Chains A and B, each alone.
Chain A
């Protein structure tokens, strides 16, 4: 990774409170182009909240978020424009239930990017082939398995040609045998050099794909390290404890 590049995402001293509960406390981080950042941590540690501030789905209480050098605070009036460059994949897929797979992908292309119908459909087909479910183009989301739905969700995000992709626990709602097909697609994106921020519990994937791992607890970054270091020689006691809990079985 080239530290001289301008960061794709920069979070500066960011805090987010929900009422009296402080979910994220004073976090700063940078994600450089083509870098894959994996955020792990116990539930309630604030990792999803942190991720969701990166496309302004959550407004931070304090601090700053820059995406591709643009301050989100100062550019809220054109947040829709900025968001169209940030792909997001959710834990529960959130496919549009009333639309077919193709229509799920073409909707934002057409109304946000103003792309013509035929072109949008061509883009949709390309993305569906990439995630390996072109044969389901005319199905409705409810007719697909969880793994297939999540792959459509990834294709939908990719179709917008984002500069960065955010993944919020993309495999947590899946049956075990469907996790691999989603991770395979994500691995493909890593190889293609997509900039990615991933919140996940999949340690094997984190180890293989991440350039950097951040371990969060109680809204703070406890440890940040390259995956080899993180898994082999975690420095903090809290990290060791967490890893021993989840790697025990």
Chain B
């Protein structure tokens, strides 16, 4: 194997290992990945040979679409929120800085499960009530066009899937805001000064000089957030959203095949996160090569 060849060829005449070679020796063969691969393969083999497993798999698999679309939609919104709030956290305006900080601190101080309940069952109903009240008001003062549309908004008209996505997005928006903030602060102060000294506005410097470097620095962290969100998307099952977790729970509940349902559920998440983490690692490696 290529890696081993490099290990046995001493590059230093004095027999000492260079820092590079020490790194190579420390790097284990990824046995852990093989082990996980075996677990996944074994489960899929079970699905092939055991009718119980096959039955469970066929049913639970139907939730994959919901799990994946929920994750992707919520994540995209979360990154947008995170970018805006992250910029707010380092903003020159006291007002923006404080609003952003309040958002981040409030979200981080409440458990995700509780937040999902609150946003889906309190915040969104509250907002719809407020909007339809506003609609009636507008209709009364003669703005019937917009008024009628707003008044028609009912709590029922927002499906649980959308509420789940909004809840996850609001929560993870706070996490990614912190990632963006750290990324922006990781770019040296001199970059901003150089850009400003050339006559760029604060925002131009942010957009053309700071953010491109900040985002590059935080891509791995953002990737890890995506993995976390995929796992946390299982929590939306409490809103009866039919993701893989919810379907597995329902299936286990009335078939009593707990072992089959939850093993398959575990392996499905494991497969998804493993694929994602491999992608994140690839991006990380590509970027560290580019830096050299």
Contact = CB atoms under 8 A, between A and B. Distances in A.
A28 to B, nearest CB: 23
A157 B194 CA distance: 9
Interface stretch (B152-160, B195-203, B219-227, B254-262): B195-203
Interface residues of B, number: 19
8 contacts: A81-B199, A88-B197, A98-B212, A98-B213, A108-B199, A111-B204, A112-B200, A112-B204
B193 A108 contact: no
A96 B209 contact: yes
A197 interface: no
B149 interface: no
A84 B198 contact: yes
B190 A92 contact: yes
Contact of A80 (B193, B200, B216): B200
Contacts of B76: none
Most buried by B among A111, A112, A157: A111
B198 A97 contact: no
Contacts, number: 63
B11 interface: no
A80 B202 CA distance: 9
B213 A97 contact: yes
A194 interface: no
Most buried by B among A55, A97, A142: A97
B291 A107 contact: no
B271 interface: no
A83 B195 contact: no
Contacts of B212: 98
B18 interface: no
Contacts of B281: none
B196 A83 contact: yes
Contacts of B108: none
Interface in B184-243: 188, 190-191, 193-201, 204, 208-209, 212-213, 216
A90 interface: yes
A92 B190 CA distance: 8
Interface residues of A, number: 27
A80 B199 contact: yes
B199 A112 contact: yes
Interface of B: 188, 190-191, 193-201, 204, 208-209, 212-213, 216, 291
A86 interface: yes
A57 interface: yes
B191 A94 contact: yes
Nearest to A88: B197
B197 A86 contact: yes
Most buried by B among A84, A85, A87, A107: A107
Nearest to A108: B198
Contact of A107 (B196, B208, B216): B208
A160 B191 contact: no
A156 interface: yes
A160 B199 contact: yes
Most buried by B among A57, A88, A108, A157: A108
A108 B195 contact: yes
Contacts of B201: 80
Nearest to A107: B208
Nearest to A103: B208
B193 A83 contact: no
B213 A83 contact: no
Contacts of B199: 80-85, 108, 112, 160
A57 B197 contact: yes
Contacts of A157: 198
Nearest to B201: A80
B193 A94 contact: yes
Contacts of B209: 96, 107
Contacts of B188: 92, 94
A84 B198 CA distance: 5
Contacts of A153: 194
Contacts of A94: 188, 190-191, 193-194
A8 B199 CA distance: 18
Given A94-B188, A111-B208, A160-B198, 16 more contacts: A57-B193, A80-B196, A81-B199, A82-B199, A83-B199, A86-B197, A88-B197, A94-B191, A94-B194, A97-B213, A98-B212, A107-B208, A108-B195, A108-B198, A108-B199, A112-B204
A88 B190 CA distance: 12
Nearest to A143: B292
Nearest to A86: B197
B202 to A, nearest CB: 9
A83 B198 contact: yes
Contacts of A88: 194, 197-198
Interface in A1-60: 55, 57
